């Protein structure tokens, strides 16, 4: 095994097709010794890149690619290629990419411009980039990389194997599990948006809870997750959150849920496991989205509403996909119906 590296985000590891087939648990047809060191689309691939083919419709693209190794369903002929046969090529491709494209090892230890409080606890192989600020009581687990200009507030904790990209902010007391990746501009633990009106003014409701983020979570650039008001905002294991998402105070998001860009979740809402929320969808306070539900793009779930297990909803206010499609079809016919009504009334007169 030979390690190679370019100036990209990740280091490439050269493996053989046989090693890759063994790792993925798939059948191999062709040269087990063919080298594989990266992943790419068929058109951009080099000889040592891995590509994937999901259906015979794209067979010509794969056949014309420079890549020698292809993940493909069984019994698809590709002359001159080494084929790793699997019923789920796209999933296998994602797993192969994670294996082949390891993140660079921490280059630490601590940059000379970083400010690290004396009572902070850093594991031996942690890497701290330029101008990072780490306050008292912070704990950082082994194999974690904190990149330039990040701020870790007092008492916050970061697990093992995490990566904080430049300019991430953890407010005091925030907790990250293991293998968490936070992209640039993420803010964890800011005050929630809570006020009580009385005596002619808005009084700020206490925002003294915290945020807990589980293992294997990835959060996109400029997303914000507010601390709980009196309790805890929780993001479950395996959750993936896109860029520019707002998660309000006390929100609970179940394991392996997906939130696309520009989603907004109001305070004290609960999302179950494996929930999918499309881009620009919004939820009012105290909503409950049960396991496996799908909230369509730009849908609006009204406050205190419940979306049942496995239900697919769309539109504002959110309703079942079937109802949304039926109403949209009628809405598209309104000009025609209006013209028919006008003509009918004119004829009647």
- Could you check whether the bond before residue 52 is cis, i.e. omega within 30 degrees of 0? no
Q: Are 123 and 143 in contact (CB under 8 A)?
A: yes
Measured CA to CA in angstroms, residue 20 lies from 69, 82, 99, 272 at distances of: 10, 12, 9, 35
Q: Are 102 and 15 in contact (CB under 8 A)?
A: no
Helix boundaries (H) for the chain: 17-24, 59-64, 89-100, 321-332, 334-348
Q: Given 58, 249, 256, 304, which residue is catalytic?
A: 249
Helix, strand, coil fractions of the chain, as percent rounded to 5 = 15, 30, 55
- Could you check whether the bond before residue 205 is cis, i.e. omega within 30 degrees of 0? no
Ramachandran angles phi, psi of 300, nearest 5°: -125, 115
304 given a catalytic annotation: no
Distance (Å, rounded) from C-alpha 145 to C-alpha 318? 41
CA dihedral 10, 14, 16, 17 (to 10 degrees): 30
The pair of three-digit structure tokens given for residue 89, joined into one six-digit string: 């090529």
End-to-end Cα distance, the chain: 88
Strands 175-176, 169-170: pairing is unpaired
Q: Give catalytic residues, as residue numbers.
A: 249
């Amino acid at each position: 095994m030979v390690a190679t590296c370019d100036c990209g985000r990740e280091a490439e590891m050269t493996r053989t097709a046989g090693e890759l087939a063994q790792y993925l648990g798939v059948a191999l047809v062709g040269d087990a010794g063919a080298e594989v060191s990266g992943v790419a689309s068929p058109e951009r691939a080099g000889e040592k890149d891995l590509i994937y083919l999901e259906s015979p419709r794209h067979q010509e693209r794969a056949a014309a690619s420079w890549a020698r190794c292809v993940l493909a369903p069984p019994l698809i002929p590709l002359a001159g290629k080494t084929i790793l046969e699997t019923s789920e090529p796209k999933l296998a491709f994602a797993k192969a990419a994670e294996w082949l494209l390891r993140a660079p090892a921490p280059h630490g230890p601590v940059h000379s411009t970083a400010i690290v409080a004396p009572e902070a606890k850093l594991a031996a192989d942690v890497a701290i980039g330029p101008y990072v600020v780490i306050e008292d009581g912070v704990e950082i687990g082994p194999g974690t990389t904190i990149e330039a200009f990040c701020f870790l507030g007092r008492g916050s904790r970061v697990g093992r194997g995490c990566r904080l990209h430049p300019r991430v902010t953890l407010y005091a007391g925030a907790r990250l599990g293991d293998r968490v990746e936070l992209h640039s501009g993420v803010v964890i633990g800011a005050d929630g948006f809570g006020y009580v009106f009385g005596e002619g003014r808005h009084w700020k409701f206490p925002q003294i809870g915290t945020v807990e983020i589980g293992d294997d979570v990835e959060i996109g650039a400029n997303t914000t997750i507010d601390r709980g008001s009196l309790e805890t905002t929780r993001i479950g294991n395996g959750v993936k959150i896109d860029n520019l998402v707002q998660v309000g105070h006390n929100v609970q998001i179940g394991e392996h849920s997906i939130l696309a860009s520009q989603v907004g979740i109001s305070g004290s809402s609960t999302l179950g496991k494996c929930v999918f929320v499309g881009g620009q969808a919004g939820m009012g306070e105290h909503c409950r989205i049960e396991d496996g539900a799908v909230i369509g793009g730009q849908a609006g779930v009204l406050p205190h509403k419940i979306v049942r297990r496995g239900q697919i909803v769309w539109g504002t206010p959110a309703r079942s996909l079937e109802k949304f499609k039926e109403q949209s079809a009628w809405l598209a016919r309104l000009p025609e119906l209006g013209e028919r009504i006008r003509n009918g009334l004119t004829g009647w007169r």
